[in-house]
């Protein structure tokens, strides 16, 4: 399947919740961004956010060009107090609770100093007309774009893929150490720099568990169908193991170069039905050691899936070069 086909099929299955199954199109507001170079600011974005208690007057924002959009929001570049920022503006008020949940989660993550997560500056409201999250501007590509651009023989760039995979599961491990679940893990929600360092974004579905081994029982199914865990589909149960299942699907996408169930004409309901029954996409091109790891992450029993730490160790072991056998007798 061509990378264009992969992306075409994936875009038909955005992240949704059962309460809002049909996303609205993002609005296209006018730009008010100045082309002038912003002045230097001695404070970091995180420090500025804390100094204003993460509440930003809308009049202080200068919004620029649209640089991305999702199922409920559009993202613009811009400036705030002399710092270049990303401004995520809500485009569908039906998702206002999710939007506010993301703001609260980013504030909590920043207070915990969790690495590999986009920096957060604050929340801005324009008299009830519009709502914005002000975050670190990342002039990077998302990891799915990298996968598309590097389609082909994966053995040629396997070291780079292993670095990305290790950095990704390390970021997930940092969240899990604080009992935080992302609940919408996929390559589109990771930004990637030239050194293959990553930043996790899009915390609209994220939550913090009450205990190390707790399971959250939701009133709705959330996430992106191809990456959902079976227990989430069947019972609305979410745990660290649910994130690990999603990472298994990310492994599959990275190494098979296709999103699970990215087949023409497949609906969200059909994808969920197959995952709920354990009927996963066949693994054909992935090296055996990674194929075995995907299957472990895809175990139907959440208690039998590896932890993020164990997955990191497995990827690290697989990626280590094997010693050349001695030719001496």
Q: Which residues are CB-contacts of 92 (< 8 A; sequence separation ≥ 6)? A: 20, 23, 24, 26, 71, 72, 73
Q: What is the mean pLDDT of residues 37-58?
A: 80
Name the residue with higher pLDDT: 3 or 231: 231
pLDDT in tens, 58-114: 999 999 999 988 888 999 999 999 999 999 999 999 999 999 999 999 999 999 999
Residue 129 vs residues 90, 258, 297: alpha-carbon distances, Å: 10, 40, 43
Predicted model pTM: 0.84
Query: What is the overall mean pLDDT for the chain?
Result: 87
Catalytic (active-site) positions: 184, 186, 189, 202, 224
Rounded Cα gap, residues 100 and 108, in angstroms: 12
Strands across the sheet containing 73-80: 61-69, 73-80, 83-90, 130-136, 120-126
Q: Is the pLDDT of residue 6 over 80?
A: no
Facing residues of 142 across strands?
191
pLDDT in tens, 246-285: 999 999 999 999 999 989 999 999 999 999 999 999 999 9
pLDDT of residue 69: 87
Residue 62 vs residues 17, 78, 139, 173, 219: alpha-carbon distances, Å: 31, 5, 17, 35, 38
Percent of the chain with pLDDT over 70: 85
Name the residue with higher pLDDT: 126 or 10: 126
For residue 162, give both structure tokens. Answer: 């292993």
- Dihedral, 242, 244, 246, 247 alpha carbons, nearest 10: 170
Rounded Cα gap, residues 185 and 321, in angstroms: 29
| Domains of the chain and CATH, by start | 31-136 (3.30.200.20), 141-319 (1.10.510.10)
Name the residue with higher pLDDT: 8 or 181: 181
Facing residues of 214 across strands?
none
pLDDT of residue 14: 61
pLDDT of residue 19: 52
pLDDT of residue 128: 87
Name the residue with higher pLDDT: 36 or 93: 93
pLDDT of residue 258: 94
Banded pLDDT at 31 (limits 50, 70, 90) = very low
pLDDT in tens, 127-155: 888 999 999 999 889 999 999 999 998 98
Q: Is the pLDDT of residue 25 over 50?
A: no
Q: Is the pLDDT of residue 299 over 50?
A: yes
């Amino acid at each position: 399947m061509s990378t264009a086909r992969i992306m075409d099929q994936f875009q038909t299955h955005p992240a949704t919740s059962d309460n809002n199954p049909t996303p609205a199109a993002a609005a296209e507001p006018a730009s008010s961004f100045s082309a002038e170079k912003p002045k230097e600011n001695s404070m970091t974005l995180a420090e500025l956010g804390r100094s204003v208690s993460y509440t930003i007057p809308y009049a202080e924002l200068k919004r620029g060009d649209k640089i991305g959009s999702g199922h409920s929001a559009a993202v613009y570049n811009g400036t705030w107090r002399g710092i270049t920022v990303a401004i995520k503006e809500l485009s569908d008020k039906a998702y206002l609770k999710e939007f506010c949940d993301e703001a609260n989660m980013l504030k909590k993550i920043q207070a915990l100093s969790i690495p590999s997560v986009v920096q957060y500056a604050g929340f801005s409201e324009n008299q009830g007309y519009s709502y914005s999250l002000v975050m670190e501007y990342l002039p990077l590509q998302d990891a799915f774009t990298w996968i598309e651009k590097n389609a082909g023989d994966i053995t040629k760039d396997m070291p780079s893929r292993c670095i990305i995979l290790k950095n990704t599961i390390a970021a997930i491990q940092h969240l899990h150490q604080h009992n935080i679940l992302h609940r919408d893990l996929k390559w589109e929600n990771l930004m990637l720099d030239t050194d293959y360092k990553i930043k996790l974004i899009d915390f609209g579905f994220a939550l913090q568990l009450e205990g190390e081994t707790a399971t959250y029982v939701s009133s709705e199914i959330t996430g992106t169908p191809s990456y959902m865990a079976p227990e989430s589909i069947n019972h609305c149960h979410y745990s660290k193991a649910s994130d690990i299942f999603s990472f298994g699907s990310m492994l599959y996408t990275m190494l098979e170069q296709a999103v699970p169930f990215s087949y023409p004409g497949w609906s969200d309901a059909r994808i969920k039905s197959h995952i709920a029954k354990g009927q996963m996409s066949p693994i054909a091109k992935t090296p055996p050691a990674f194929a075995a790891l995907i299957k472990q992450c895809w175990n139907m029993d959440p208690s039998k899936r590896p932890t993020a730490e164990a997955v990191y160790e497995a990827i690290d072991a697989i990626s280590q070069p094997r010693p050349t056998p001695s030719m001496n007798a």
